[in-house]
Amino acid sequence: MTRTPFGERLRAAMDAHGPFCPGIDPHAALLDAWGLPDSVDGLERFALTCVEAFGGTVACVKPQSAFFERFGSRGVAVLERTLEGLREAGTLSLLDAKRGDIGTTMAGYAQAYLSDDSPVRADAVTVSPYLGYESLRPALDLAAATGRGVFVLTLTSNPEGASVQHAVRDDATVAASIVDGAGADNAAARARGALGSVGLVVGATVGSAVADLGLDLAGSAAPILAPGLGAQGGTPDGLRRTFGDAMPQVLGNSSRAVLGAGPGVAALRAEARRAADDLANAASRR
């Protein structure tokens, strides 16, 4: 079966539902805020409530793997059910796992998240390139073969990130080399005017760093995951200033600001729709 490339499926979902991706981040404080126990049972109720609220109503949903993994095998089983629920709802999933390694180990991570027969398969996964962009090749190639996507950490908003991402080697910053790598892998999609399937993760609160580093995000044809809206200080108008011509490629992400509306399904859904509408309006302004 030939599957439509992830980038094209994401573009269609963003056009239909708005460029917003809520997170599913069941950490202890949020479980408590929802009146749930910090246990596998609480985890399951939290995650499946999010699936019910977001499924079919947003472009993409981003479960954070760490908050499931902390409960061991039973937590991973809940993650499997969460991803299955999103598939059944027809909603794209982006698993935030930030995996990165070399050789057969990277291939193993790729098989875990991007193969058709894995129980924790997602439509896309986040990866870390700091063993070198080409170390991601097993994931990049398997994603291309199965119609899935990867989002590569590029420019993060944590203070420590700049020491690596802004570093210069051979007259180019590390961040620029990642953008160039994604652009090369997205060349075929760019040639036909489509969104590529190799995405970039660029924080919503990096401010002028994209311009300061001369990153050609628009030319990369990469979908851009921009975490940090809401609780971390990112705003739709701030995204427009940060991303400029690349704004149509941006998929805004928020977790705490939306999840704080829970535990009611209707309130969660309404908050996600409000965020999606705000981002769509910001993207449409010139």
Q: Which residues are catalytic?
A: 98
What are the φ and ψ backbone dihedral angles of 173, each rounded to 5 degrees? Answer: -75, 160
Sign of CA dihedral 14, 17, 20, 25: negative
Q: How far apart are CA 110 and CA 158, in angstroms?
A: 26
Using left for φ > 0, alpha for ψ between -120 and 50, and beta otherwise, residue 67 falls in alpha
Are 42 and 262 in contact, with CB atoms under 8 Å apart?
no
- At 138 the three-state DSSP class reads helix
Q: How far apart are CA 38 and CA 210, in angstroms?
A: 39
Q: List, in order, residues 6 or more apart from 41 with CB less than 8 Å away.
A: none
Q: How far apart are CA 257 and CA 11, in angstroms?
A: 24
- At 122 the three-state DSSP class reads coil
Residue 195: DSSP 8-state? -
* AA identity, residue 117: D
Q: How far apart are CA 14 and CA 277, in angstroms?
A: 11
